[in-house]
Amino acid sequence: TSGATSDVEVLPERGLLLHIGLMKTGTTSLQNAASALRPELLSQGVRYPGRSTNHRSAVNDFMGHSWGWGTTPVRGAWARLRAEIDADTENRIWIGHEFGANADDETVARWREELGERAHVVVTLRNYASILPSVWQQTTKEGEQLPFDQWLAGVLSDDPDGELRGYQQRHDQGQVVTRWAEAFGPENVTVVVVDKSTPDLLFGAFESMLGLEQGLLSTAKLDGRSSNRGLSLEEAELFRVLNLQLREQLTWHQYCKWFRDAATVSVLGRRRPGEHDTRFVLPTWAADVAHARSERYVEQIAASGVRVVGDLDRLTAQVPSADDAPLDAH
């Protein structure tokens, strides 16, 4: 375990950093900073390939996954990204998207075969209990219609149904880290623990691994949209109610154009929650279940042998909760 980013080993020359998330661990801020600073990164020996903000389409194409309802993977997206990676014979490469954490054992093995020995996998993690409201908020910006209390009960159950099973599996921190460590070797996997008490650790860890000047990533200008700030209960509930009205009437591409990339972006970028907004607080039962899970996750991560940047104990810290927590915005 390393508490300081100064202790992080820099990747070998022409090393490839694959960041697989998890969701809601600062991935959007990292992606926006990297895309905004592409020329600066390249001048310091790091290529962030492609032209878009992140590598979601390429990652999904490689894994055969689609994003949104009624869609198919963007064929050729991975091949185009791979061609740019292969054409660069001098620099370190930085790629990834949080959908990489959705990979099963077989797909992780394909990633290892595809990327070879030059690849180093980075998993960013936050306290499991604290992340649950953030994950639900994100899903409401992508069409989720379940109220928070129903979604929470499903994700925290022992045997969730349908999509909720997917949410539970992709946030199983212990299983995700173990799966990638077994495929790539624990020496080729780094876990970065993201916590509000160490706000500079996330950017600092990536700068250290990539051999970048410390402080570079924080020079990117990020607004509420690009930093993907959290929603208040009222904001999230507004989006959920709109989903109930709109989702069945729109294709995924229409939904993204008018709702995800317009309405929600306006709220995130132009509005700051005020005193009258309600903060998310987990009900006590949910905090207890999440805490027990997080203790198991940390045991698995510690046993996996991967490098850890930050304090694993932050992942099991108790979070504020209430016996009758506000779960809807009526």
Which residue has 């990638």 as its token pair?
Answer: 180
Per-residue pLDDT of 13-31, as tens digits, reads 999 999 999 999 999 999 9
Residues facing residue 329 across a β-bridge? none
Rounded average pLDDT over 34-49: 98
Band of residue 327 on the pLDDT scale cut at 50, 70, 90:
confident
161 pLDDT band (50/70/90 cuts)? confident
Please, what is the angle between helix 284-304 and helix 128-140, to 10°? 110
Structure tokens at 325: 């927590």
Angle, CA 279 vertex, CA 277 and CA 284 arms, to 5°: 145
The answer to whether the CB of 193 falls within 8 A of the CB of 314 is: yes
Residue 72 DSSP SS3: coil
CA dihedral 270, 99, 6, 115 (to 10 degrees): -140
Q: What percent of the chain is modeled with pLDDT above 90?
A: 83
Q: Which residues pair with 193 in a beta bridge?
A: 125
pLDDT in tens, 68-92: 999 999 999 999 999 999 999 999 9
Neighbours of 101 (CB within 10 A): 25
Q: Provide the Cα torsion 82, 83, 87, 93; round to 10°.
A: -20
Position 58 pLDDT exceeds 70: yes
Residue 147: what residue type? P
Tokens of 73: 């993977």
